């Protein structure tokens, strides 16, 4: 067999591999193709062979599609309703139950949750309160909000929960688990995969899901200072005309706490949109500084993992009402700046409309 014929034959087999899926098997070679062992001048390198390897495991899915949920707030409790998810096949649609070859996910822009579905679906989900006593008895600590997820179509078979771990923490295998809370009790699921941003788990059936730390391992990490990805939120309270003062509330929270959950607790406040990311260390002391402030309280506080449901301010800055902007700085116990932002504190204009970029929380 000549070199040209062999190359043509390989090309034909690759084309066959790309389209062969009728028997639910993907072929990695063709038994009819036999090379002459004496033919040693084939211009097909090992790298070329790797390029010709067509398999389902080599098919990479597109990133999840982002969607903005419909928000429903009642008694400071936020519920999220998804858009109706269409079914989007990537490839090998009949193989969707195998990881790596499935329908693409849909990421909620408010919570960071990613849902992987195998049929058209619409979801309703909300955060619920952890039973800390039950978790402690099992040797676990909350590592994020607990989400109650409902889907009448029972279409979700894989869930991606956002975490706030740094890359240094992710090297500790077994630190993170997914808790599955039902009417029958609580069980712990081992992740299928942990990425830089999410913990991926297969969904047996929908109820409540959340991330937990294994307390024993967490205790070891705390001995070496446990950093997490955090966020700083600012809310400006209405001014007091008698004292001519206004309060700027500062929230230091884990990065996987949804902003909408905090907004729901801050009625009649102005949310001031500024870059929020910061890196925080559990149980380390932090202070807030603002040159234009009359007072900052408390003077310092240890960062704790507040996963709700109350979300009280970490710091309160007392400001005069006759200023338009101020610089707010968060420092750690070594007096190092960990977050800083120029803040517009002019409040509503005379017509009562909030000044950009602040957003009044209704």
For the domain that residue 76 is a member of, what is the CATH number? Answer: 2.60.220
**Are 192 and 215 in a shared domain?**
yes
pLDDT at 22: 38
What are the start-end ranges of the H helices in 53-198? 132-137, 167-170
**Are 132 and 74 in a shared domain?**
yes
Lowest-pLDDT range of 50-54, 119-123, 147-151, 232-236: 50-54
Q: Which of 165, 200, 222 is the last residue of a domain?
A: 222
**Are 108 and 205 in a shared domain?**
yes
Domain harbouring 268, CATH code: 2.60.40.2660
Q: What is the mean pLDDT of residues 165-191?
A: 84
**Are 144 and 88 in a shared domain?**
yes
Is 177 within the bounds of a domain? yes
**Are 31 and 107 in a shared domain?**
no
**Are 104 and 79 in a shared domain?**
yes
Mean pLDDT, the chain, integer? 76
pLDDT at 20: 38
Domain encompassing residue 93: 65-222
**Is the pLDDT reported for residue 73 higher than 90?**
no
Is 60 within the bounds of a domain? no
Give the chain's domain count: 3
Is the bond preceding 298 in cis, omega lying within 30 degrees of 0?
yes
pLDDT at 94: 32
For the chain, the distance separating the N- and C-terminal CA atoms, rounded to the nearest angstrom, is 77
Is 59 within the bounds of a domain? no
Q: pTM of the full predicted structure? A: 0.67
**Is the pLDDT reported for residue 239 higher than 90?**
yes
**Are 22 and 115 in a shared domain?**
no
**Are 326 and 301 in a shared domain?**
yes
Residue 30: pLDDT band by 50, 70, 90 thresholds? very low
Question: CA dist 279 to 297, 303, 331, 335, 339, Å?
Answer: 21, 11, 11, 14, 8
**Are 209 and 322 in a shared domain?**
no
**Are 19 and 146 in a shared domain?**
no
pLDDT at 37: 39
**Are 14 and 101 in a shared domain?**
no
pLDDT at 219: 64
For the beta carbon of residue 59, count every other beta carbon within 10 angstroms.
Answer: 14
Residue 52: pLDDT band by 50, 70, 90 thresholds? very low
Residue 206: pLDDT band by 50, 70, 90 thresholds? confident
Q: What is the mean pLDDT of residues 345-351?
A: 61
pLDDT at 62: 63
């Amino acid at each position: 067999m000549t070199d040209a014929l062999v190359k043509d034959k390989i090309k034909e087999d690759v084309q066959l591999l790309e389209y062969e899926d009728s028997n639910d098997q993907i072929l990695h070679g063709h038994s009819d193709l036999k090379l002459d062992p004496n033919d040693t001048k084939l211009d097909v390198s090992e790298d070329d062979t790797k390029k010709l390897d067509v398999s389902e495991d080599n098919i990479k899915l597109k990133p999840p599609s982002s969607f903005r949920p419909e928000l429903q707030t009642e008694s400071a409790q936020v519920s999220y309703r998804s858009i109706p998810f269409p079914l989007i096949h990537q490839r090998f649609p009949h193989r969707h139950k195998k990881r790596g070859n499935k329908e693409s996910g849909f990421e909620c822009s408010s919570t960071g949750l990613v849902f992987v579905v195998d049929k058209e679906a619409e979801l309703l989900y909300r955060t619920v309160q952890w039973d800390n006593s039950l978790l402690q008895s099992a040797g676990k600590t909350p590592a994020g909000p607990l989400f109650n997820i409902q889907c009448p179509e029972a279409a979700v078979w894989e869930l991606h929960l956002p975490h706030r771990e740094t890359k240094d923490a992710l090297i500790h295998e077994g630190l993170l688990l997914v808790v599955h809370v039902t009417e029958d009790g609580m069980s712990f699921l081992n992740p299928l995969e942990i990425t830089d941003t999410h913990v991926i788990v297969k969904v047996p059936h929908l109820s409540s899901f959340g991330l937990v730390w294994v307390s024993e391992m967490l205790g070891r990490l705390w001995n070496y200072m446990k950093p997490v990805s955090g966020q700083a939120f600012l809310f400006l309270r209405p001014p007091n005309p008698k004292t001519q003062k206004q309060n700027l509330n500062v929230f230091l929270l884990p990065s996987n706490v949804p902003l909408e959950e905090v907004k729901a607790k801050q009625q009649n406040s102005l949310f001031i949109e500024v870059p929020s990311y910061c890196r925080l260390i559990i149980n380390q002391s932090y202070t807030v500084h603002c040159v234009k402030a009359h007072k900052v309280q408390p003077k310092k506080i240890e960062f704790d993992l507040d996963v709700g449901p109350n979300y009280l301010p970490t710091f309160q800055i007392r400001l005069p009402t006759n200023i338009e902007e101020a610089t707010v700085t968060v420092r750690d116990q070594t007096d190092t700046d960990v977050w800083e932002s120029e803040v517009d504190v002019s409040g509503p204009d005379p017509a009562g409309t909030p000044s950009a970029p602040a957003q009044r929380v209704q």
